[in-house]
Amino acid sequence: MSAALPPLRHRSHQQHSDAAAAPAPRPALRLALATAATLAALATLTLSPPLASASSAQSTQDDDPALAQCLLELRSDLEAAGYDADLVRDTLAQAKRLERIVALDRAQPESVQYFTDYLAQRVTAGRIERGRFMYQIYEELLWKIYSDYEISPRYLVALWGMETHYGSYFGRVPVIDALVTLACDDRRPRFFREQIEATIALLERGDLHADDLYGSWAGAIGHTQFMPSTMRAHAVDYDGSGRIELRDSVPDALASAANYLQHLGWRPGERWGREVKLSNRFNFKSLGLDERRPLNEWSELGIRRADGSRLPESTMEAALLLPMGRHGPAFLVYDNFDRLLRWNPSQSFALAVGHLADRIDGSGPLRAAPPPEEELLDLDELRETQERLNALGYEAGPVDGILGQQTRNATRAFQQENGLPADAFPDRAVLEALREAEQQP
């Protein structure tokens, strides 16, 4: 891979504007750098051979009456809904419950997942460089997709990179086993029953073959990790083969991603958001996805671009996110950020996709450094913070060491009532104030 590839800014700078702009004209299609040999090499990269997870504990219908009963119900529901009875029976005949998947679904964190660590692990130099390379390889395809769906190439490439490192791994879990395990578990049975129904529908339609049924532990398939219901509703056959191939066809996978984003309401010509900087006079009165204001108001409140210059004059609405509190990176996010959250509801994921898209496009790293290590709480300390917030009536939710929205909201309420900067981030100052609060009579 060449480190000397030019940045992509010259091709897509139009889409950097904060305000909605007219869609960028489709550049003349150029011959991509791809040679047949490179494409063949890439194709081999995308093949992850299916492996049965023989090493992990599993139950079959023969030794698990609850599973047998659940499968019986599934079969009869699907047959009642009009699906081919033979197909349903054959597809579910060998289904197993994989204990590893139940464990993964219930996994508790071993350490606090801080955003800056998450970002550093996912938006790596290798992923940025390979994203630029893939952009060049697939430039013609990406701009053809842009002309059909108005999704900027860099977002498709970034999602592709985040989901499967550009098709390097698709997951090797048998999809039917994964879906049956989760559909016959008590956490989200309805959602996963829908996924089984969608899988049967796709098999019946011929868009999935039995050979395709390997994916992530949650049953997601192909280059952009579509769940079967998303594939059923939004995937497209873009290479004209007559079949939707999310594992074997990059055009199908990327156009399907674009079609899905368009369905989610992606706003062409707008960014996802941007890194910003808070001035010293910023008072934290507005924060979080629910508190949207026009850019002009954010300017008045003391928000600047990350380089310190003024935000663009615009009435475009944005929300302020401080994933690591006031000492870490700050972001203003726009409507398209919400579209990314509908792809995957994790704010860290959506910020990473946006940042990776910018980096692939030639932008530099975040300007803000993470907060000093000594300010950050470890897992036990975060649990203690949650426990103490709950004890004082702030409703931080389960004491699980997960830094979710409920914990942030509770932290913010405590900060506001105790004269601390209300950045909704539980740091050492918050924990110490909580400990003091309890000592008071």
- Residues of this chain that interact with Ca ion (CB under 5 A) are 237, 239, 241, 245, 249, 252
Contact assessment for residue 91 and residue 197, using Cβ atoms and an 8 Å cutoff:
no
Residue 236 CB, nearest distance to Ca ion (Å)? 8
Closest approach, Cβ 243 to Ca ion, in A, equals 5
Q: What is the DSSP letter of 373?
A: G
Query: Quick one: 178 or 246, whose CB is closer to Ca ion?
Result: 246
By CB atoms closer than 10 A (0-12, 13-18, 19+), residue 215 is: buried
Q: Which residue, 252 or 427, has its beta carbon nearer to Ca ion?
A: 252
- Identity of the residue, 215 or 222, whose beta carbon is nearer to Ca ion in the bound complex: 222
Residue whose CB is less far from Ca ion, 249 or 336: 249
Helix (H/G/I), strand (E/B), else coil: 287: coil
Tell the smallest beta-carbon distance from residue 43 to Ca ion (Å): 14
**DSSP-derived 3-state class of residue 98:** strand
CA atoms within a 13 Å half-sphere pointing along the CA-CB vector of 207: 26
Place of tokens 């300007």: 367
Residues in the chain, total: 441
Structure tokens at 223: 């280059």
Q: CB-wise, 127 or 234, nearer to Ca ion?
A: 234
Write out the DSSP string of 15-78: GG-SS--PPPPPPPP---S--HHHHHHHHHHT-------TTS-EE-TTT-HHHHHHHHHHHHHH
Closest residue (Cβ) to Ca ion? 241
Token pair of 187 as six digits = 């956490």
Nearer to Ca ion by Cβ, of 247 and 293: the residue is: 247
CB of 342 to Ca ion, least distance (A): 25
CB of 248 to Ca ion, least distance (A): 8
| Least distance in angstroms from the C-beta of 238 to Ca ion | 7
Q: Which is nearer to Ca ion, 126 or 206 (CB)?
A: 206
**Is the distance from CB of 395 to CB of 406 less than 8 angstroms?**
yes
Closest distance to Ca ion from the beta carbon of 256 (Å) = 10
- Phi/psi at 20 (nearest 5 deg)? -60, 130
Minimum distance of Ca ion from residue 111's CB (angstroms): 42
Instruction: Closer to Ca ion by CB, 95 or 253: give it.
Output: 253
Rounded to whole angstroms, the Cα distance separating 18 from 331 reads 13
Looking at the Cβ atoms of 18 and 245, the one nearer to Ca ion is 245
Q: Is 91 within 8 Å of 198 (Cβ atoms)?
A: no
Q: How far is CA 300 from the centre of its chain?
A: 32
Q: Mind giving me the DSSP string for 165-206?
A: TTTT----EEHHHHHHHHHTSSSSHHHHHHHHHHHHHHHHHT
Q: Which is nearer to Ca ion, 117 or 239 (CB)?
A: 239
10 Cβ neighbours under 8 A, 6+ residues apart? none
Nearer to Ca ion among residue 245 and residue 427 (C-beta): 245
Give whole-number Cα distances, 388 to 108, 380, 383, 425, 437, in Å: 20, 12, 9, 15, 9
Shortest approach of Ca ion to residue 237 CB, angstroms? Answer: 4
CB of 252 to Ca ion, least distance (A): 4
Distance, in Å, from the CA atom of 417 to the CA atom of 28, rounded to the nearest integer, reads 58
Shortest distance (Å) from residue 205 CB to Ca ion? 13
* CB burial of residue 142 (10 Å; 0-12, 13-18, 19+): buried
